[in-house]
Structure 1
Amino acid sequence: MFKEAVLDSKSQAPPTHPILFDKIDGYLIRAMSLKCQGAAGPSGLDAAAWRRLCTGFKVLSRNLCDSIASTTRRIATQFIDPSGISALVACRLIPLDKRPGVRPIGVCETLRRIISKAVLSVVKSDILNVAGPLQLCAGQNVGCEAAIHAIRGIYDEDETEAVLFVDATNAFNTLNRQVALANISVNCPAIFPILANTYRQPSSLFVGGETLLSSEGTTQGDPLAMPMYALATIPLLKSVQTNGTKQVWYADDAAAGGSLDCLHKWWNRLVDLGAMFGYLPNPKKSWLLVKSGNIDKATHLFENTNINITTEGQKYLGAAIGNKDFCNNFLQEKVTNWKLQVERLSCIAQTQPQAAHSIFTRGLIGRWKFALRTNENFAAYLNPLEEALRSKLIPAITNRSTPGDKMRRLFALPPRLGGLGIVDPRSLTCELEYSKLICAPLVNRIVQQETNLDNVPTKQNSMKASIRQQKHLAQKSHSEITVNDLSVELKRSVELACEKGAFCWLTAIPLEQHGFTLHKSAFWDALCLRYGWHPSNLPDICPCGSKFSVDHSLSCPTGGYPSIRHNEVRDLFTNLLTEVCHDVHKEPVLQPLNGEVFQKRCTTSDENARLDIAVSGFWGGHFQRTFFDVRVFNPNASSYKSVQIPSLYKRQEQEKKRRYEERINNVELSSFTPIILACTGGCSKLTSIFLKRLASLLSEKHHTEYSTTINWLRCRLSFALLRACVMCLRGCRSKLHRTSRDFNILLEAAESRL
């Protein structure tokens, strides 16, 4: 038996050199833990718990990650006793009702997912080379889209009489493990050891207080499950290939096109050989799409197979393939469902506008793009969808009336260009052409029935970069045209909203644990601040006696809110600098002067002068000291409205430098960096350099990607400024927080008794 052969081969050297897996270290395990998501296995530790274990305890976390990395390398390179990892491969079993039938879902341990992801990061290229262009579930670029375009192209060929779409019965759970492992040991030895260790013995499934044994199939939830299925079906795919048919697989969804005689032979081979691999075609769920004029021949050939036969069309991987009427009905049904989803999301937006906006920009729009990229002639059906966006979703998210044409075009722009990212679906019709261009190298290999990818990934990446550049230029051109049509006031607001970091609060996922959530009023106020709208329910007169307005609220000292805004930014940077620097002081007092004379008369000579932050080791060596001073200003103040935004930042920087730089350089023998921020979220040039340096130090210490760190840092800063501005706008400016006169009299009386 194969199982016994594997056990006897423990002492043998693995077919792949172990040095391949030396890339798996503690840093990679930490990165995989941060990417891992999902519920807990039998141990009860979900992805969030493992992220904390791998990142939240400094030395202990590093030691844990190193230990997991060592375990991963051993499991991936040596044959071990399966009983030693029985707890690792055990799963919670969830029976899902398929109506009819039951789909068993195994929720494996999060640790197993982390280990599997680490192994995949090393052997992915080997898996892709074996899977090739005909089994597209192994991680190929745009594999699902390529399968759709390829089958549609095969169906449109003159020599094609029909296309057969095959559905298998519970394919992932009936896969023959012994045959699969035997085949993988030959065609992809790099991944064979870890699959043999985790799948050669039955694993325990816990459900309802009972324990079941999983002896066949792959474990859904295991990152190695899909690559294993892809590699296991490659021999079957090659065995059923016949002359006159062109096939493509996406996991268990097989499709083939060609002449009816060849398709009949292909089907018979699939039925005969599939059982050996655990692939059981289900004729009742399989469809034969026949071109008109061939229906009689198809009925005669497939009369004893129970396969459904149609001349209209069939759904395949989320797309419609068939005649015009079938495709039109499919598209119309799609748009109708999308419109209902928009209406439901509009109801959610009335109480949770931030969540609704995130759901649309990160969820719905992705589904729409996939459908638009894989179906033709969609443009004629998108008008009702755009009407629902304009009349229902946008008013619910912004808490304003239906936008006009100018504002609708503005809202369709991405947040980095001043919009909200609520795109007009009619503008996405070019996605089909982009998809065809990216998929073309892979589709050509499928149509030619080649078994190797050759340099397909390189061509696809090159095409992606070219299309990305085209989109960027088109968006920029459209943005310039849109902004030029706006009023002067709104144009300035959009210019401020486009600054680096000013839009991060709008693109961040509203995660409560990171402090990225806003209640509905705060979100609507944030939009008002972004576009210069007048917020609702503001008082007419400020407690200080002045007329109340948005600009006044951001500058009025009554209530101390501008100071709170300043201190919030100062404390944020102080805490972050403490992680990467030493000798960190908050509000350090400068050394007293002993007759020093400064060339600049503006340089402060105050004996009690102090700055916001002082650290050592930020710009240079451990003993190089740097002083920082923070200023947060309102770029829409009446005295600034006529000044260009870059000039505003330069003016603020020069004021800080004239006041402190000479004294710090000559007396403290240190460097000075002003931190200048607009309350709208933008920053000066020097501040941008400071943020990049801080993000670089943080990413180096925590071994995270720089891009992830700088984005997180800008989000933290963006939300800190936003919340402070909302407090300035809505905070109570009464004098109740001051010490009362009666309390002072009582305190003086108590002190006199002492």
Structure 2
Amino acid sequence: MKYITVTERPKQLMIVKEWLEMLIQEGPKWGYYPEPGKSVLVVKDNLSNEDSKFFNQLGIKIVKSHKFLGSVIGPDDSKDIYVEDKVKLWTEAVMKFSEAAKKSPQAVFAAFTKSLQCEWSFLQRVVESSSEKYVSLKDAIQTHLTPAIVGREISNTEHEIFSLPTKFGGLAIKNPVLTVENSFQTSKKAVQKLTQCIKNRAILNVDEHKLHVKTALKEERTIRQARDKEKSAQLISLLPEKKKRTLTRVVEGKASHWLNVIPTAADHYDLSPTQFRDALALRYGHEIPLSQRCDGCDLQMDMNHALNCKKGGLVKYGHDNLCDDGAQLAKLAFQCVNREPVIQEADGIHTPALIADVKIVGLWENGRTAFLDYRIINPDAPSYLSQNWSAISNRHAKEKHQKYDRAAEDVRCGFTPMVCSIDGVLHEEFKTVLTRLASVLADKFNGPRAIVP
């Protein structure tokens, strides 16, 4: 494909014609058989009859605008039409995603954030357009898709929060009207050296070009992160006290990684629609629709009661699932891992048996056993509302140490408490264990910690 400017058209046409004639003549000698019929010549104005006849004989299409590498070459009105057609196509796709989200919200969420919205993010980088072109797409996302994923109606403030990156409390469901403002200018700035070389017909210094691109993108990323962080703090401050407390804890505790994974069944990352929407409700402090009475104790049922009542079986079910997942992860890194190991036998009179949740041989030192015991906390229970997460988690970790340390030392073993919140915020010792597991797995699979399987 060749783009020809008005001022240099005669000279450029002659070069193109000579190049084509030579390619058609010499190409087969080297095993290359040109197919001019698959080529397109993009021009700014109409060609003369002689020029048109030459290119038409070869089957080359002569146009004023054409798609190229995901963008479009041509006048502004052609670009506007191209963007409008794309937005219409994406809007229809969003509506189909909305229907699918009713039954598979997690799969739709992953497909949208990691695939579909990346398509218009790319177009916004390579084609300059106004934000008005994306209004219909934004409306489809906020009116249909996001409520279908979350399973409830969403306020304007929540829509703004959801557009933020997950680490700042959002869902990374970007607003295309806002992203279009800086995308093209950032891309234009990044390829500035390449553009200058094309205009000046100069030789491109590839190393300088790569360094310039890297620097420009890094600067923009830093600015964007600072802007998102400030916006996150501002929006969270507008929430009711309960929701603000919950989301602040999630952001400060960096408990958003689960939203960034691909929901593969083989890794047990796939959640049922109810599990996924309940997890989102816990993340944003939203009440979950429940039955009026508790099945276990027959008291009034609400979300706090469901998370705290030990008679209904939900607390034990969640605790056992976490222990099983922790043991399964440990088995990937260590050979000797057991569930519910006995640290201290009961004496039959005064001292009950002391049983941990997981035993790992070699966790901290080769050949030495480490016992782990899990505890899941509801930090928004009425008794904890006057305390922050650090104080709550440290208190429970201290209780675990007081209960298990002496018995573990008696059998020459170590002990680590695994304390976390219902929304996935971890105590420091829990984080240390995961860091150790990641390091062992990285060494085992000979790769960096960030991409261990």
Structure 1 length-normalised TM: 0.55
Kindly state the Cα deviation for residue 442 of structure 1 after the two structures are TM-superposed. Answer: 4.2
Q: Which residue of 1 aligns with 2:287?
A: 534
**CA distance in 1 between partners of 2:55 and 2:331 (Å):** 74
Deviations 1:433-466 (A, max 9, x none): 2222333344455553637734543443343333
The AA in structure 2 aligned to 1:407 is E
Deviations 1:85-104 (A, max 9, x none): xxxxxxxxxxxxxxxxxxxx
Closer/same/farther in 2, CA of residues 262 and 575 from structure 1, 3 Å limit: closer
**CA distance in 2 between partners of 1:451 and 1:278 (Å):** 30
Deviations 1:364-423 (A, max 9, x none): 11111111111012423011111111111112212212x332111011112222222211
Kindly state the Cα deviation for residue 537 of structure 1 after the two structures are TM-superposed. Answer: 4.9
User: After the TM superposition, which residues 107-186 of structure 1 pair with which residues of structure 2 at under 5 Å, given as runs?
Assistant: 159-161=7-9
Q: Which residue of 1 aligns with 2:22?
A: 269
What secondary structure sits across from 1:554 in the alignment? helix
Kindly state the Cα deviation for residue 531 of structure 1 after the two structures are TM-superposed. Answer: 1.8
User: After the TM superposition, which residues 571-582 of structure 1 pair with which residues of structure 2 at under 5 Å, given as runs?
Assistant: 571-581=324-334
Deviations 1:266-310 (A, max 9, x none): 332333333344444444443322223765674366464443223
The AA in structure 1 aligned to 2:216 is M
Q: Which residue of 1 aligns with 2:361?
A: 616
Deviations 1:484-531 (A, max 9, x none): 222212212322443556333322212122222223233222222222
1:672 equivalenced with 2:415 (yes/no): yes
Kindly state the Cα deviation for residue 343 of structure 1 after the two structures are TM-superposed. Answer: 1.2
* Contact residue 534 and residue 550 of structure 1 kept, 8 A: yes
Kindly state the Cα deviation for residue 426 of structure 1 after the two structures are TM-superposed. Answer: 1.2
1:682 equivalenced with 2:425 (yes/no): yes
Kindly state the Cα deviation for residue 160 of structure 1 after the two structures are TM-superposed. Answer: 4.0
Closer/same/farther in 2, CA of residues 511 and 576 from structure 1, 3 Å limit: closer
The AA in structure 2 aligned to 1:616 is V
* Contact residue 331 and residue 378 of structure 1 kept, 8 A: no
User: After the TM superposition, which residues 274-423 of structure 1 pair with which residues of structure 2 at under 5 Å, given as runs?
Assistant: 274-292=27-45, 298-299=51-52, 302=55, 304-310=57-63, 312-401=64-153, 403-423=154-174
Deviations 1:714-751 (A, max 9, x none): xxxxxxxxxxxxxxxxxxxxxxxxxxxxxxxxxxxxxx
**CA distance in 1 between partners of 2:419 and 2:83 (Å):** 51
Q: Any stretches of 5+ residues in structure 1 without a counterpart?
A: 1-146, 163-243, 245-258, 595-604, 713-754
**CA distance in 2 between partners of 1:309 and 1:609 (Å):** 83
Deviations 1:331-364 (A, max 9, x none): 1111111111111111111222222111111111
1:494 equivalenced with 2:238 (yes/no): no
1:570 equivalenced with 2:315 (yes/no): no
Deviations 1:604-646 (A, max 9, x none): x945333333333211232x33232211111221212232122
* Contact residue 361 and residue 370 of structure 2 kept, 8 A: yes
Q: Which residue of 2 aligns with 1:60?
A: none
Percent identity between the aligned chains? 27
Closer/same/farther in 2, CA of residues 344 and 590 from structure 1, 3 Å limit: closer
Closer/same/farther in 2, CA of residues 681 and 655 from structure 1, 3 Å limit: same
What secondary structure sits across from 1:547 in the alignment? coil
**CA distance in 2 between partners of 1:355 and 1:332 (Å):** 27
Kindly state the Cα deviation for residue 593 of structure 1 after the two structures are TM-superposed. Answer: 11
* Contact residue 360 and residue 371 of structure 2 kept, 8 A: yes
Kindly state the Cα deviation for residue 554 of structure 1 after the two structures are TM-superposed. Answer: 1.2
Kindly state the Cα deviation for residue 432 of structure 1 after the two structures are TM-superposed. Answer: 1.4
**CA distance in 2 between partners of 1:579 and 1:377 (Å):** 49
Aligned counterpart for 1:627 among listed residues 357, 368, 371: 371
* Contact residue 496 and residue 680 of structure 1 kept, 8 A: no
* Contact residue 554 and residue 634 of structure 1 kept, 8 A: yes
**CA distance in 1 between partners of 2:298 and 2:36 (Å):** 81
What secondary structure sits across from 1:315 in the alignment? strand
What secondary structure sits across from 1:632 in the alignment? strand
* Contact residue 589 and residue 610 of structure 1 kept, 8 A: yes
Of stretches 628-637 and 451-460 in structure 1, the one that deviates more from structure 2 is 451-460
Aligned counterpart for 1:512 among listed residues 265, 269, 289: 265
Structure 2 length-normalised TM: 0.88
**CA distance in 2 between partners of 1:399 and 1:457 (Å):** 44
**CA distance in 2 between partners of 1:466 and 1:591 (Å):** 57
Deviations 1:79-136 (A, max 9, x none): xxxxxxxxxxxxxxxxxxxxxxxxxxxxxxxxxxxxxxxxxxxxxxxxxxxxxxxxxx
The AA in structure 2 aligned to 1:647 is A
Q: Which residue of 2 aligns with 1:168?
A: none
**CA distance in 2 between partners of 1:660 and 1:461 (Å):** 51
Aligned counterpart for 1:427 among listed residues 159, 171, 178: 178
The AA in structure 1 aligned to 2:379 is P
**CA distance in 2 between partners of 1:650 and 1:336 (Å):** 53
* Contact residue 274 and residue 280 of structure 1 kept, 8 A: yes
What secondary structure sits across from 1:697 in the alignment? helix
**CA distance in 2 between partners of 1:606 and 1:439 (Å):** 72
Q: Any stretches of 5+ residues in structure 2 without a counterpart?
A: none
**CA distance in 1 between partners of 2:272 and 2:369 (Å):** 41
* Contact residue 161 and residue 294 of structure 1 kept, 8 A: no
Closer/same/farther in 2, CA of residues 393 and 571 from structure 1, 3 Å limit: closer
Aligned counterpart for 2:300 among listed residues 539, 547, 559: 547
What secondary structure sits across from 2:266 in the alignment? helix
1:639 equivalenced with 2:391 (yes/no): no
1:484 equivalenced with 2:234 (yes/no): no
Closer/same/farther in 2, CA of residues 338 and 578 from structure 1, 3 Å limit: closer
Number of residue pairs aligned between Structure 1 and Structure 2: 449
**CA distance in 2 between partners of 1:360 and 1:655 (Å):** 43
Aligned counterpart for 1:699 among listed residues 433, 439, 442: 442
Closer/same/farther in 2, CA of residues 577 and 399 from structure 1, 3 Å limit: closer
Closer/same/farther in 2, CA of residues 576 and 288 from structure 1, 3 Å limit: closer
